[in-house]
Amino acid sequence: MISDFNLVDGSEGWWVDTGASCHVCYDRSMFKSYSNVVDKKLLLGDSHSTVVAGSGEVELNFTSGKTVILKDVLHTPEIIKNLVSGYILNKAGFTQTIGADLFTLTKNEIFVGKDYAIEGEASVILGIKITRSKRGISLDQSHYIEKILKKYNYLDCKPVCTPYDPSERLFKNTGNSVRQNEYASIIGSLRYATNCTRLDIVYAIGVLCRFTSRPSNEHWHALERVMRYLKRTMNLRLHYGKFPAVLDGYSDADWNTLSDDSKATGGYIFSIAGGAISWKSKKQTILTQSTMESEMIALATASEEANWLRSLLSDTPLWEKPVPAVLIHYDSTATIAKVQNRCYNGKR
């Protein structure tokens, strides 16, 4: 989301969204022309969809007195925000300029209209709840997790403490698929959560998504454990304090423990100000012959991400320069010795 600005007529505000592929309005009374639509849905950013009741033209009024007619606006009663597609505006030749509190629209260098941002700060963006306090900023998806649990009838399930049983080993299903569409739908919904705030289930979902094409009862049992864990940890959040504003990371790998093809899984996490900003868990693409080798590959992947994050911070105007080296924590003595070119006893 880029900006939120008031309309001169005092109706609901409009959000300018550069990622939206169409204009969206939930208020039927705002349409100047309208046509009913049957059996049409709009795909949302969280892999869910919403009903489209109709489409038509909406007149966008600016405080400057200018108006712009938005065409092919979708009427979506279930969405409580009116969205202006920045992509469509750009495609139509409009130029958007957004200052601290002013939105200006021009076309062919000719002024079209302007408006002012709504006072206050956003509390929910792309399904992520933002909580501000004197101690810092917190991000969570409690309402999104609750919606998933309710949709798939896990809201009353018995909670558990961990998302995955480390002693359980899953294999490809050679029999009939068990509720494949529902399995894939749940995995897709949870992957969105892992990309935003729920790094604690990244490993579990990374393992379970390998069996999306043909899930078995064993795969369902493991997936249900994730849902039971989310029931217990629905309100977990990422918290970013004011200090220390230092980038550091952690890296690790398992070796031939849960994969049915003898490939290890590596992962990393980087944090700033006490909150995670980047994380990943992925099965390695090559076979390794020892724990040290698998952890070296994971460390190399983490180092690439550390370099990218340092470059990003270097381009951040308010960040202190030069950006110091990133400390990556590791728990393998053999790998640390190998990195430091020291001898180790060869134990794996």
The C-alpha atoms of residue 278 and residue 312 are separated, in whole angstroms, by: 12
At residue 348 the predicted structure's pLDDT band, cuts being 50, 70 and 90, is low
| DSSP state letter for 259 | -
Q: Per residue in 251-306, pLDDT tens?
A: 888 766 555 667 788 889 998 888 888 998 888 777 777 777 777 788 888 888 98
pTM: 0.61
| Neighbouring C-alpha atoms within 13 Å toward the C-beta of 35 | 9
Element (DSSP H or E) covering residue 311: helix 291-314
Q: Per residue in 183-202, pLDDT tens?
A: 888 888 888 888 888 999 99
Q: 151 or 341: whose pLDDT is higher?
A: 151
At residue 123 the predicted structure's pLDDT band, cuts being 50, 70 and 90, is low
Handedness of CA 295, 298, 304, 310 (dihedral sign): negative
Instruction: With beta carbons less than 8 A apart as the criterion, state whether 323 and 310 touch.
Output: yes
Taking residues 111-132, report their average pLDDT. Answer: 62
- Residue % of the chain over a pLDDT of 70: 77
Judged by phi (left if over 0) then psi (alpha if -120 to 50, else beta), residue 262 lies in left
| DSSP state letter for 201 | G
What is the structure's pLDDT at 227? 92
Find tokens 């919403």 and name the residue.
50
- Residue % of the chain over a pLDDT of 90: 8
At residue 229 the predicted structure's pLDDT band, cuts being 50, 70 and 90, is very high
Q: Per residue in 46-56, pLDDT tens?
A: 556 788 888 99
**N residues, the chain:** 348
What is the structure's pLDDT at 230? 92
Q: Sheet holding 24-25: strands in order across?
A: 3-5, 14-17, 82-85, 24-25, 67-75, 54-61, 31-36
Assess whether pLDDT exceeds 70 at residue 18: no
